[in-house]
């Protein structure tokens, strides 16, 4: 059976990652979380106190940025590694969430991460989620989804997710972070978040998780 590339883009906190992960599992595809790569780059710059307004400094530290993914043998979940260290938990903290969209605006950061993402998808059979996957990373992807959901519903879902991981964050703070990231991601000059012309829009506000996964899997199968 021929393999395709599935691009899932959309607003922050729509459930893109968990949906993409499940879709990949059902199809036997590889899941790639491009947001985790921007988060890992952000953590790297925070750890090294990089002044991101200085292009040369960013360029220098991009050279010492190595992001990989490994599957946890116990949970079977994919985890993000930064220069050999497991940073899966740390990249999801508000410290990183509050800064990641600023880092993601930078042209040189995007250039580097986009080329890594393109290499990861060269053999197809991948589901990649992000903001510019269907428009910039894989403009020729065989199947593109643009996910949306009501902001308050997204924030409540994200709060529950964080609570399950043992972190209590006030709803207001999450609403603010999601809205701010959407604004920066949609308004930036480099690869802004926009729906690709040929993407199917899926509003998940009133869909159960399994419903959104099944819908996307069924639509994807028509392209395979
Ligand atoms: O997907 P996630 O919410 O983890 O992404 C974190 C941030 O990374 C986004 O808010 C956005 O600023 C940036 N991002 C991006 N392009 C992508 C994926 C993520 O700019 N393809």
Query: Residue 158: what pLDDT?
Result: 95
132 Cβ closer than 6 Å to some ligand 1 atom: yes
Residue 115 — pLDDT band, cuts 50, 70, 90?
A: very high
Q: Which of 130, 137, 138, 195 is the best mutation target for the ligand 1 pocket, counting ligand atoms within 8 Å of the beta carbon and taking the most?
A: 130
CA 104–ligand 1 middle distance (angstroms): 7
ipTM of the complex: 0.99
Structure tokens at 47: 């750890």
Q: Which of 14, 17, 18, 34 is the best mutation target for the ligand 1 pocket, counting ligand atoms within 8 Å of the beta carbon and taking the most?
A: 34
Residue 123 — pLDDT band, cuts 50, 70, 90?
A: very high
Q: Residues 215, 202: contact at Cβ < 8 Å?
A: yes
Nearest residue by C-alpha to atom 1 in ligand 1: 35
Q: Is the dihedral of CA 184, 187, 190, 194 positive or negative?
A: positive
Q: Which residues share a beta bridge with 86?
A: 81
User: Residue 10 annotated as binding?
Assistant: yes
In the chain, the number of structural domains is: 1
Q: What is the CATH number of the domain that holds 54?
A: 3.40.50.300
Structural domain contains residue 219: no
Mean pLDDT, range 164-169, rounded to an integer: 93
Nearest residue by C-alpha to atom 2 in ligand 1: 35
21 Cβ closer than 6 Å to some ligand 1 atom: no
Query: Residue 14: what pLDDT?
Result: 92
Q: What is the CA radius of gyration of the chain?
A: 17
Altogether, the residues listed in the chain come to a count of 224
Structural domain contains residue 218: no
Structural domain contains residue 224: no
User: Residue 14 annotated as binding?
Assistant: yes
Structural domain contains residue 223: no
SS3 20: helix
182 Cβ closer than 6 Å to some ligand 1 atom: no
The model's pTM is 0.96
Query: Residue 1: what pLDDT?
Result: 79
Mean pLDDT, range 124-135, rounded to an integer: 98
Query: Residue 78: what pLDDT?
Result: 94
In terms of residue numbers, what domain contains 191?
5-213
* CA 195/CA 144 separation, integer angstroms: 9
pLDDT in tens, 6-64: 999 999 999 999 999 999 999 999 999 999 999 999 999 999 999 999 999 999 999 99
Q: Residues 101, 181: contact at Cβ < 8 Å?
A: yes
Q: Which residues share a beta bridge with 130?
A: 9
Residue 168 — pLDDT band, cuts 50, 70, 90?
A: very high
Q: Which residues share a beta bridge with 128?
A: 7, 32
CA 1–ligand 1 middle distance (angstroms): 31
Query: Residue 104: what pLDDT?
Result: 98
pLDDT in tens, 65-91: 999 999 999 999 999 999 999 999 999
Angle, nearest 10°, between helix axes 107-120 and 34-47?
Answer: 140
Query: What percent of the chain shows pLDDT beyond 90?
Result: 99
Mean pLDDT, range 109-126, rounded to an integer: 98
Mean pLDDT, range 87-102, rounded to an integer: 96
Question: For residue 12, which atom of ligand 1 is closest to its CA?
Answer: 3
34 Cβ closer than 6 Å to some ligand 1 atom: yes
pLDDT in tens, 194-209: 999 999 999 999 999 9
Structural domain contains residue 125: yes
Q: Is the pLDDT of residue 165 over 90?
A: no
* CA 173/CA 180 separation, integer angstroms: 10
């Amino acid at each position: 059976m021929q393999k395709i590339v599935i691009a899932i883009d959309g607003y922050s906190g729509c459930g893109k990652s968990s949906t993409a992960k499940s879709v990949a599992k059902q199809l036997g595809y590889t899941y790639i979380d491009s947001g985790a790569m921007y988060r890992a780059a952000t953590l790297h710059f925070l750890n090294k106190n990089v002044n991101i307004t200085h292009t040369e400094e960013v360029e220098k530290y991009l050279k010492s940025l190595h992001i990989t993914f490994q599957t946890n043998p116990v949970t079977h979940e994919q985890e993000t590694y930064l220069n050999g260290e497991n940073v899966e938990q740390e990249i999801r903290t508000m410290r990183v969430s509050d800064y990641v969209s600023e880092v993601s605006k930078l042209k040189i950061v995007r250039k580097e991460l986009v080329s890594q993402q393109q290499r990861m998808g060269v053999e197809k059979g991948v589901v990649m989620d992000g903001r510019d996957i269907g428009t910039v990373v894989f403009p020729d992807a065989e199947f593109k989804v643009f996910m949306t959901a009501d902001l308050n519903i997204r924030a409540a879902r994200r709060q529950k997710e964080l609570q399950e991981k043992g972190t209590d964050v006030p709803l207001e703070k999450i609403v603010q972070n999601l809205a701010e990231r959407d604004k920066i991601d949609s308004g930036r000059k480099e690869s802004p978040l926009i729906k690709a012309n040929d993407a199917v829009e899926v509003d998940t506000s009133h869909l159960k998780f399994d419903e959104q996964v099944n819908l996307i899997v069924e639509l994807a199968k028509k392209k395979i």
